């Protein structure tokens, strides 16, 4: 089975390819000739996942899935949430986003947060949503060089290492995206 993943984010593609069985071939937007930036204008994580999946299905005619992810920090009333990728403004920049977040919560005692991923699957004219959430906390300084985004400052509950200290395989099995992809795979089986 071939399935388009509505992304050109090489890190996300790598994580997802580790999780899917070899019977499912994941193709990126680049693989289908989609080089334009897909608008992410919804005000929810679910909404952006739906927008991206619908864009590919309507414009290219493929079954596909898309994801959107946000970091929700309790002390910031769920921010940056749907705006996680551009929290520090345009152009999107992981370091700037992390630095802004650390600055915004430097005086907060509640460091609890969660990563939330929603996957929207458009398959044979039907749409399905799969959600993965991992709870954890934000630490004061960046640790680790693996991963991307907010990974260097996020420690999942029950772990002592940041997502950026885990190998891509370790992160893929416990992460928000990993949990959502597992639900997607279970559905496809």
Q: Which listed residue (43, 67, 68, 157) is catalytic?
A: 68
Measured in whole angstroms, the distance separating CA 169 from the mean position of its chain's CA atoms is 16
Query: C-alpha distances in angstroms, 160 versus 128, 138, 153, 155?
Result: 34, 12, 12, 7
User: Are β-strands 2-5 and 64-73 bridged in parallel, bridged antiparallel, or unpaired?
Assistant: parallel
Is 110 tagged catalytic? no
Q: Is 9 helix (H, G, I), strand (E, B) or coil?
A: coil
Residues in Cβ contact with 89 at an 8 Å cutoff, skipping those fewer than 6 apart: 96
145, 139 in Cβ contact below 8 A?
A: no
* Catalytic residue positions, numbered: 68
């Amino acid at each position: 089975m071939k399935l388009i993943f509505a992304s050109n984010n090489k890190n996300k593609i790598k994580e997802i390819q580790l999780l899917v069985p070899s019977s499912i071939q994941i193709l990126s937007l680049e693989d289908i000739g989609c080089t334009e930036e897909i608008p992410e204008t919804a005000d929810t994580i679910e909404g952006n996942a739906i927008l991206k999946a619908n864009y590919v299905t309507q414009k290219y005619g493929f079954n596909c899935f898309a994801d959107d992810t946000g970091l929700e920090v309790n002390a910031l009333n769920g921010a940056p949430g749907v705006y996680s990728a551009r929290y520090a403004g345009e152009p999107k920049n992981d370091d700037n986003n992390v630095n802004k977040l650390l600055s915004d919560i430097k005086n907060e005692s509640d460091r609890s947060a969660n990563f939330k991923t929603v996957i929207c699957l458009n398959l044979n004219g039907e749409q399905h949503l799969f959600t993965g959430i991992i709870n954890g906390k934000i630490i004061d300084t960046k640790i680790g060089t693996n991963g991307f985004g907010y990974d260097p400052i996020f420690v999942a509950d029950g772990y002592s290492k940041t997502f950026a200290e885990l190998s891509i395989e370790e992160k893929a099995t416990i992460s928000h995206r990993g949990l959502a992809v597992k639900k997607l795979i279970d559905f496809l089986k």
